[in-house]
Amino acid sequence: MSDGSLSQEEIDALLQGVDEMATEPAAAPAAAAATGDLTEEERNTFMDILRSELSSAANTLSTIISKKVEIINPTLEIKSPDKTRDDIAGENIQVKIDCTEGITGETLFVLKKGDASVIADLMMGQDGTSPPAELNELYMSAISEAVSQMFGSGLNVISAKVNRQIKVAPPSAEVMTSSNELMLPPGDKIVVTTSTLSIEGLVSSNLVHIFSFPLVKEIVSAASVGTVSYTQPQAQAAVTPMAQPAGPTSTQVSVQQVQFPALGQGVPGVSQEQVTNISLLLDVPMQLTVELGRTKMLVKEILGLGEGSIIELDKLAGEPVDLLVNNKLVAKGEVVVIDENFGVRVTDIINPMERLAGLQQK
């Protein structure tokens, strides 16, 4: 019968067990490893949103310039402002667009000057093979509009993910000859994403999209609460016509934001070229107006008009008349007589650059 004391063998066994416990590695923390103050989960969430945004932006730009566009293979880095400036060299175009409502923060697009010239040239109705070496105000406006449209479509994706309506400030585009001119977001660290931009046979380059660090944190934080759960009330289950399986009367249901594929994707047998084909618009009615001339009159002059009054217009006899489609000048012509009706013979088509300039003046 034992007196309650431990034998030497038992003591040695206990000491060996203590040594094994002491040498076991500490358990890994439950939180995901952080990467530059973004956890792995936050990084993955933002990259998923970014890929959807870029896909939408590519479709939008493709529609604008009538060329196949791809913006793929995005990468993400958290850098200091100095490191970012060191990595961006040469002549570039930067377009600054800040989010002002819904989510707030600064963003900056940077693309090579030559690539921006091609995009602007295509927007002007040219073929993009001989873009101008120097970008005038008209071309800069076209670039600013293209980036604004791209980011606008991408914001729709972000808005759906964070379940908020997002508003942005007007874009600001500038030619950048030195990296010191970069309009970087404030702070000692920023989020820099780089993607491969390709435009059908014309461009194969990089598109840099820079975000302020607080903006990225706000996006992933808002996106993480986009999934909620609720308990189905018992009364609602009771009126369901189908028989319910045995078990609890309330179930946990996961509710998430619905995600639709981008237009032109995921539709069997339909290519992007077919989606953007101009033939889809051929049956859209438009109003064509022939303008003989214009003049300005005072109210008392209009009230004084009577039969036989003559109104002098601002055009000379024999000068071409204007052809307007939906009140936008598209061509000029001369008046002719067809049987007993007036007609217009088109003599000149307004080129795309002049048309765009006319739109900006209105």
pLDDT by residue for the chain (362 residues), tens only, comes to 455 566 666 666 666 654 544 444 444 443 444 445 889 999 999 999 999 999 989 998 988 888 999 999 999 999 999 999 999 988 899 999 999 988 899 999 999 999 999 998 888 888 889 888 888 888 888 888 888 888 888 888 888 888 888 888 888 889 988 888 999 999 999 999 999 999 998 999 999 999 999 999 999 988 877 543 333 344 333 333 444 444 444 445 445 554 544 544 444 444 445 444 555 566 678 888 988 888 998 888 888 888 888 888 888 877 888 888 877 888 888 888 887 788 888 888 887 666 666 655 55
Residues 119 and 188 in one domain: yes
Residues 336 and 212 in one domain: no
Cα–Cα distance, 13 to 57 (Å, whole number): 68
Number of domains the chain is built from:
2
Residues 213 and 291 in one domain: no
The residue among 226, 248, 278 that closes a domain is: 226
Q: Helix 137-162 vs helix 113-123: angle between axes, to the nearest 10 degrees? A: 90
Cα–Cα distance, 356 to 146 (Å, whole number): 14
29 φ, ψ (degrees, to nearest 5): -60, 150
Closest by Cα among 189, 210, 14, 197 to 97: 210
pTM (2 decimals)?
A: 0.56
Is the separation of the CB atoms in 290 and 323 below 8 Å?
yes
Does residue 118 sit within a domain? yes
> SS3 for 341?
strand
Cα–Cα distance, 293 to 277 (Å, whole number): 36
Q: What share of the chain is helix, strand, coil (3-state, %, to 5)?
A: 35, 25, 40
Does residue 65 sit within a domain? yes
Does residue 151 sit within a domain? yes
Half-sphere exposure of 281 (CA within 13 A, CB side): 5
